[in-house]
Amino acid sequence: MSPDGPRAAVARALDTLGTGAFLADEQGLIVAVNARGEQLLARPATDLVGRDAHDLLHRTSCGEPMPRAECRMLESLLGGRTQQGEEEWLERGDGTLVPVGWLATPCDIGTPPSATLVLFHSARFPGRTGRRSPAGGRLSELERLALLARTTTLLTSTLDIHKALRRLISLVVPRIADWAVIDLIGERDDVLRFAVAHAEGGTVKFREDLQGPMPPVPQESLMPLSRALRGVASSSVGPETYQGPPDSGIAVEQRRLFEATGMHSAIMVPLRSMHDVMGALTLGRADDPERFTAADTALLEDIARRASLALENARLYQRQRQVAETMQRHLLPKLPRSPGRRMAARYLPAPDASHVGGDWYDAFTLTDGATALAVGDVVGHDLEAAAGMAQLRNMLRAYAVSQQKPPSKIVEWLDQATLHIAEVSMATLVFVRMSEQADGRCELSWTNAGHPPPLLVTREGEACYLTDGHGILLGVTPGQFRRPDATAELPPGATLLLYTDGLIESPAHGLDEGLARLSRHAAALARYPLESFIDELLARARPPDNDDDVAMLAVRHGLGWSS
C-alpha cells in the first residue's frame, strides 16, 4: 500500500468525529481537515491543506501571530508528543478569532512520515473570553495600548475596504462589546449599513437581515446616529433614545436595530478622515449588564480615528484603481467584424496590482482586406507599462496599415522604435496576418517576438502550438537579427488563440505544464461557441496562484457549424 493510502483512510475518518480536527505532517503542514473543522475555522479545505498550521491559524488573544518558540501546539506537531491546551486562539477565514480548547497527539498510520492529529473545539475562557473584558476600568493600560497598536497594524495592512472593516469588527467584538454596527456613506451621500455583527459561541456572526441600504441622513436631525454620520459628535445611547416619534427614516431603522439586538447600551462614533465623513461605528452591549463609560468612549474614539485613516487610504486606492480600469478599457480596442469569422477577446488584470498593466491585444483590418492580429506584453504592472503598451500598439497599427510588408518586417521596424521612440524597456509580441485566399482558404502568416506560441484548435478537438517564426523579444538587440516569418492554414471551424503568459505561468509549476494544461482544456472546448470557449478557457486554464495580467484573443474561421 502506498504511503498515501493510510493517510487517506485517516482523513476519511476525521469526518466521523464530532469536533474540529485536522491531520498535520511532520513539518506541521495540514494534510487533511474535517467538515466540522472547516466550519469552525470558516475556511474551506482548499485554503487549509498544504499550509503551515501554526503560521496560518495560531494567534495570541490580541490577534498577533503566536511566537513559534512559545507555541505548545507546534511543539506537539513537530515533536510527536501528546499535549493539550485550553486557552488558545485560531484565526478564521474572515479575520475574526475563535477561542479553542485542543488536543494534539501522534497518529500512527503505519508508515513514515509520521503525522499528528489535532482535535479542537470552540471554547469560552473563564474570566476573560467568550466575551473578552470590556474596556473602561477592566482593560489595563497595557491592554488598551496593545489594542490600539493592533488596530493600526491590522487595518493598515490591507487596501481592501471590506476586509479592513471586518478586521475592525474582529478587534472590538467581543473584546469591548457584544454588538458592532458599521454604517458607511457612499460617493453620492447614500448610506449603507455594511455590517451588524454579534459575538456568539466564541465567533462573530453577521445579521444580514439588519444590513443593507439605509434612508438618507437628515441634516437637521439631533438623533445620535444622524449626528455621527454628519461627523458632529460621539454619543452614548440606549433603546429609550428611539422610543419617541421618529424624526427620520434612519430613526425608524435604529429603533428596529435596538429591538432586534436587545442592546441596552451603545456608543456611536463618527468614522471621520481629514477630508470627509466616511460613516459611523456603533458598539453595543446586550449580554454584558454594564453600561459603557467615558473611558470606553475615549478608547472607541481613538480606535475610530485609526480606522478612519486606514479606510481613507483604502478608498483612495480604490478610486485610483477605478481610474486605472477606465484607462485600460479605453486602451483596449473594439474588434473588427468580418464575414465568415468571429472574434472574442478578454483582459483580466493582475489581482494585486492597480488593475492596469502591459498586457494587450489588438485586431484591425489592413488596406488589402487582410486582418491583423496582435497580442503582447510590456514588462510591468503599472501606468508606465500601460502607457508603453499604448505606444507599441499605436505604432504597430501605423506600420502595418501603411506598409504592405510581411509581419517580420513590421515587427523589425517596431523593435527599432522601442529604442528611439517608445518608452518601453522590453516587451513580447505575436503579430499575425490573416488573409482569405481565392479558393476560400484562410492563411496565417506570423512572427513571434519572444512570446508564448499561438494555439490552433481544430473543430475535431486537435490542438497544436504554432512554434515556428520564433525570435527574440523586443527591446533587447534592435536591428541586429532578422526576424523569421511562418505560415499555416486555419482550417474551417478551427480556432486560433493568442494569449499572454498570465494564462499559463504559475509559481508552483513549470511552463511546460501550463502549456499542456491550456492545450488540454482548449481541445475539450473546441465545439463551444466562441464567447463560451474563451470564458471557460480562462476559468479552467488560468493557474489559481497566478498573479499576472491575462490578455486573450480568439478567432474562429468558418461559422457554419457553430457561433
Task: Please tell me which residue, 417 or 11, carries the higher pLDDT value.
Answer: 417
Give 218-235 pLDDT, tens digit per residue.
988 889 999 999 988 888
Give 29-53 pLDDT, tens digit per residue.
998 899 889 988 999 999 999 899 9
Fold of 332-557: Phosphatase 2c; domain 1 (3.60.40)
For residue 440, is it left (φ>0), alpha (ψ between -120 and 50) or beta? left
Residue 544 has pLDDT above 70, yes or no: yes
Look at the chain and count its residues.
563
pLDDT confidence of residue 363:
94
For residue 454, is it left (φ>0), alpha (ψ between -120 and 50) or beta? beta
**pLDDT level of residue 113 (50, 70, 90 thresholds):** low
List the domain boundaries for the chain.
4-122, 136-321, 332-557
Contacts of 19 (CB under 8 A, 6+ apart): 36, 119, 120, 121
Single out the residue of 210, 249, 243, 208 nearest to residue 226, CA to CA. 249
Residue 75 has pLDDT above 60, yes or no: yes
pLDDT confidence of residue 153:
73
Mean of pLDDT over the chain = 83
- Does domain 136-321 correspond to CATH entry 3.30.450.40? yes
What distance lies between CA 322 and its chain's CA centroid? 16
What distance lies between CA 251 and its chain's CA centroid? 36
pLDDT confidence of residue 88:
83
Q: Is 429 within 8 Å of 499 (Cβ atoms)?
A: no
**pLDDT level of residue 10 (50, 70, 90 thresholds):** low
pLDDT confidence of residue 271:
92
Amino acid at residue number 213 = P
Task: Please tell me which residue, 436 or 123, carries the higher pLDDT value.
Answer: 436
Residue 12 has pLDDT above 50, yes or no: yes
Task: Please tell me which residue, 122 or 366, carries the higher pLDDT value.
Answer: 366
Residue 94 has pLDDT above 80, yes or no: yes
Single out the residue of 397, 395, 393, 409 nearest to residue 371, CA to CA. 397
Residue 360's DSSP bridge partners are 376
Give backbone dihedrals phi and psi of 558, rounded to 5 degrees, phi first: 85, 110
Rounded Cα gap, residues 329 and 292, in angstroms:
51
Give backbone dihedrals phi and psi of 186, rounded to 5 degrees, phi first: -85, -175
pLDDT confidence of residue 123:
67
Domains 4-122 and 136-321 share a fold: yes
For residue 555, is it left (φ>0), alpha (ψ between -120 and 50) or beta? beta
Rounded Cα gap, residues 282 and 305, in angstroms:
14
Task: Please tell me which residue, 206 or 8, carries the higher pLDDT value.
Answer: 206
Q: Which of 145-159, 168-182, 259-273 has the lowest mean pLDDT?
A: 145-159
Q: Which three cell numbers stand for residue 329?
A: 478599457
Structural Rg of the chain based on CA atoms: 30
**CATH architecture of structural domain 4-122:** 2-Layer Sandwich (3.30)
Locate cell 461559422: which residue?
559
